[in-house]
Amino acid sequence: MKNSRISVLLLASLSVILGLGGCAVMDKDIPGWSQYRNPEQAGELRLASESFGAGDPVLLIHGFGASSYSWRHIIEPLAQKYRVITIDLKGFGESPKPRDNAYSVYEQARLVRNFIIENNLKNLHIIGHSYGGGVALAASIYLSSSHPNLQRSLVLIDSIAYPQELPSFVSMLATPVLGPLMIYAIPNSIQVKSLLKKVYFNDATIPQGAIDHYAGNLAKPNAKYATFTTARQMLPVDLQQFSENYSSLSLPVLIVWSRDDEIVPLAIGERLHENLPNSKLIIFSGVGHAVQEEDPSRLLPHLQQFLDAQAHHVPSGL
């Protein structure tokens, strides 16, 4: 109990320091989108993945600080009709966590795109959440130019997509000195619980099992390095320029958002809906940033209806 109180006080102190002068510093030295035109690269790391069921593939891409565990409630229902594939992004879950400087959305999307091609995933549906939604968007744009007939649809759940104000916990992690101090000094379970209170609308529904699982992931070697490095590279400096590609993405897109999202505001979802020409926007109330974890029963019918509709429509060129 004493250590818990100390950690809470430290977290509160860091928040005050951040408000008084701490400043998140986005990494401006990472390659921009124009330098990722050829996403293939020899000898790269392999993302951890699992596959469930049979049928057209549905690839699930988790958000920042999470892992494929975040999809635990929807895997089995979707696997009744589809081959559901979960991946852990570089630096998270069971995937490698090298101490390099390549954790941007573009780099993650490159790895995902190459995973798709290496595994010959045809008639593919991609579902991305939050940071993973940004990865899904970039991977879809890669595929639309290099392999335009592989992907059938895209689902974006409370996804990053445009320049925005960073949520406080990401801003703290991206702040020099304070970020590493926070992530190494505060017990993992307290960090995770603090984050999940921002993610969930109803804090009382946060499961202890989720806290334990994500805290365990954060304890893996180099996981903390990967976490604060990803935070610094969360929003690429050329993101506004990159977003001009969205209007050329013609595949069907389902956009799912929470009106009460404290991390990525609804305005981002509405802007996506305006700029993605073949999109549908669904807005939930009374749920937080991760509906697939907090209230999956509300999400599943919309996912199933959307995926089934695309499965019965054969795109031209296939």
Q: How far apart are CA 202 and CA 206, in angstroms?
A: 8
For the chain, which residues make up each domain, given as ranges? 43-165+236-311
Handedness of CA 44, 34, 88, 166 (dihedral sign): positive
Which is higher by pLDDT, 27 or 240? 240
The domain made up of 43-165+236-311 is a member of CATH 1.10.579.10: no
CB 159 within 8 A of CB 134: yes
Q: What is the pLDDT of residues 294-307, one digit of tens each?
A: 999 999 999 999 99
pLDDT band at residue 157, thresholds of 50, 70 and 90? very high
Q: What is the pLDDT of residues 173-227, one digit of tens each?
A: 888 888 888 899 999 999 999 999 999 999 999 999 999 999 999 999 999 999 9
pTM: 0.90
Mean pLDDT of 24-45: 63
pLDDT band at residue 40, thresholds of 50, 70 and 90? low
Q: What is the pLDDT of residues 87-141, one digit of tens each?
A: 999 999 999 999 999 999 999 999 999 999 999 999 999 999 999 999 999 999 9
Handedness of CA 55, 57, 58, 62 (dihedral sign): positive
What is the bridge-based pairing of β-strands 151-157 and 124-129?
A: parallel
Q: What is the pLDDT of residues 259-310, one digit of tens each?
A: 999 999 999 999 999 999 999 999 999 999 999 999 999 999 999 999 999 8
